[in-house]
Amino acid sequence: MIKDTALVGLFYKEDLPAIYRMAERVRETHNITLIDEFDSMLERKWNDKKSFSFVEPITVSKTDDLVVSAGTSLIIDQIVGNTLTRWSHMGVGNANFTPNIADNFLNSENLPRVDMSLFGWREPAATSLRMAGIFGESRPTETITEFGIFSAATAGTQLNHNNIAANPVAHTIGITGYIISSVVEFLPVMP
């Protein structure tokens, strides 16, 4: 079984430099503990508790959605060594449709996608993939209701499709930025 959980945190632009530094440390050191601490901070805010962290999110949204069929196929090819294609970009959109296992794209994507190797992280950890995209304050004003991880800056294979329309994140250019942190876990199924 594959489980997909994601947290979206909205931050004031003044907090973004610290988040960029933390993401750079994750990319350099592959320190999963930093990702866990960041996700824990977002989870505390989601549960209406103070985070006591290096930054405080304005708001947080959370979703448990799905890995799509094309994403599952590419994961299998990655595991058995049939491809060098990797998950590289995070895309966002503003549609409100229930994700479907057959999805190959977001319903209403707001380009450009974010390169997670430059603005975020892509880290394997035991039986999970931990990925994040940082969407900075220069991004146009937008309300995010859907997002996903892709294998390319445009088109490419989609890994997952997440919907937060019930708790959208509203970003304002020059004032806020947002971070999407996604954990895809591979869980054994017991008979």
* Contact status, residue 34 vs residue 53, Cβ threshold 8 Å: no
The span from the first CA to the last CA of the chain, in angstroms, equals 12
Distance (Å, whole) CA 59 – CA 109: 22
81: left (phi over 0), alpha (psi -120 to 50) or beta: left
Q: What is the pTM of this model?
A: 0.94
- Whether the pLDDT of residue 190 is over 90: the answer is no
Q: 95: which 2 tokens?
A: 């549609």
**Among 157, 63, 184, which Cα is nearest to 103's?**
157
What tens digit of pLDDT does each residue of 74-102 get?
A: 999 998 999 999 999 999 999 999 999 99
Segments making up each domain of the chain, as ranges: 2-186
CA atoms within 13 A on the CB side of 92: 28
- Whether the pLDDT of residue 1 is over 80: the answer is no
Count of residues making up the chain: 191
* Contact status, residue 146 vs residue 107, Cβ threshold 8 Å: yes
- Whether the pLDDT of residue 12 is over 80: the answer is yes
For the CA atoms of 185, 170, 156, 104, what is the dihedral angle to 10 degrees?
70
What tens digit of pLDDT does each residue of 93-131 get?
A: 999 999 999 999 999 999 999 999 999 999 998 889 999
